């Protein structure tokens, strides 16, 4: 039995070394492999050689079980005596291998009468390619507007209504009310900016406010009251029509929208 052998004996016998490697899982190996991407179904194939040789590797590639793996495996090759010629061949394989396949070579040696291991060759970690995010023409206009909005908000000193510019048609403004917030929206297609009280999964709050519809609209003007049975959320929106084809007026539109949001918050809080 391999576990009854001394480390020196294990490193001298081809069979004993091969048997030992089958169960050998030092932290130096597992921690290194953890750095590499492993999808479900990934297999780690172990190879053990006292002296590295191409016949062992050739036999591995000829194994029908290996050929039928669903995903490309990682191969961990443990050797006591490495060969530079074979290491160079593995470097070439690793360089041109598809993502998810690679060969690691670990040198096994005695360290104070204990078996230790160090990696002497590993696949290059290929960085993930970042997807280039493209912004549509509409998204570009939205981003330009929100940038102006943020500047106007600073000028007005209205930090409670500040946003982070993005190429989207809405921005959420928390108002300290659980499940509800002010939503600043814009429509490049229909040329309007809007402020609304968005209410998530609380139709009773919507119903309570609807009882004060006349008083609310007296202060804010005509509102869109939307509470469909098919949706959990509801909203109450006030729109201002603008001209998004005229960037020189974005600051004017932003100021109107911020002032509207302030008024929407103040008005609704009277009835909440």
Please tell me the distance from the alpha carbon of residue 242 to that of residue 182, in angstroms, as a whole number. Answer: 20
Which H or E run includes 17? helix 14-22
Please tell me the distance from the alpha carbon of residue 173 to that of residue 162, in angstroms, as a whole number. Answer: 8
pTM of the model: 0.54
Neighbours of 122 (CB within 10 A): 20
- The residue among 20, 7, 10 whose CA lies nearest residue 47 is 20
Please tell me the distance from the alpha carbon of residue 221 to that of residue 215, in angstroms, as a whole number. Answer: 10
- What order do you get walking across the sheet with 170-177 strand by strand? 170-177, 180-187, 192-199, 234-241, 224-226
Q: What is the pLDDT along the chain (272 residues), one digit of tens a residue?
A: 445 789 889 998 989 998 899 888 888 888 888 888 765 667 888 989 999 988 888 888 888 888 888 788 889 999 999 999 999 999 998 888 876 788 999 999 998 888 999 999 998 877 766 777 788 999 999 999 999 999 999 999 999 999 999 999 999 999 988 889 999 999 999 999 999 999 999 999 999 999 999 999 999 999 999 999 999 999 999 999 999 999 999 999 999 999 999 999 999 999 98
């Amino acid at each position: 039995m391999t576990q009854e052998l001394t480390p020196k004996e294990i490193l001298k016998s081809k069979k004993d070394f091969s048997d030992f490697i089958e169960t050998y899982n030092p932290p130096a190996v597992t921690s290194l492999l953890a750095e590499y991407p492993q999808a479900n179904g990934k297999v780690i194939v172990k190879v053990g050689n006292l002296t590295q040789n191409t016949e062992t590797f050739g036999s591995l590639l000829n194994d029908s079980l290996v050929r039928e793996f669903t995903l490309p495996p990682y191969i961990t090759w443990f050797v006591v005596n490495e060969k530079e010629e074979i290491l160079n061949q593995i470097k070439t394989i690793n360089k041109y291998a598809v993502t998810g396949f690679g060969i690691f070579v670990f040198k096994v040696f005695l360290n104070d009468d204990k078996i230790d291991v160090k990696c002497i060759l590993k696949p290059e970690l290929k960085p993930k390619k970042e997807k280039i995010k493209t912004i549509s023409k509409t998204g570009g206009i939205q981003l330009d507007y929100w940038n102006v909005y943020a500047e106007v908000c600073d000028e007005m000193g209205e930090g409670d209504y500040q946003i982070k510019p993005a190429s989207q048609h809405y921005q959420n403004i928390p108002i300290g009310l659980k499940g509800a917030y002010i939503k600043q929206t814009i429509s490049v297609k229909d040329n309007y900016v809007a402020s609304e009280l968005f209410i998530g999964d609380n139709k009773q709050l919507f119903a309570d406010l609807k009882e004060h519809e006349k008083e609310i609209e007296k202060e804010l003007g005509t509102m869109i009251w939307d509470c469909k049975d098919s949706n959990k959320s509801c909203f109450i929106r006030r729109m201002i029509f603008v001209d998004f084809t005229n960037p020189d007026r974005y600051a004017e539109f932003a100021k109107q929208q911020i002032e509207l949001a302030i008024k929407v918050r103040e008005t609704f809080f009277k009835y909440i």
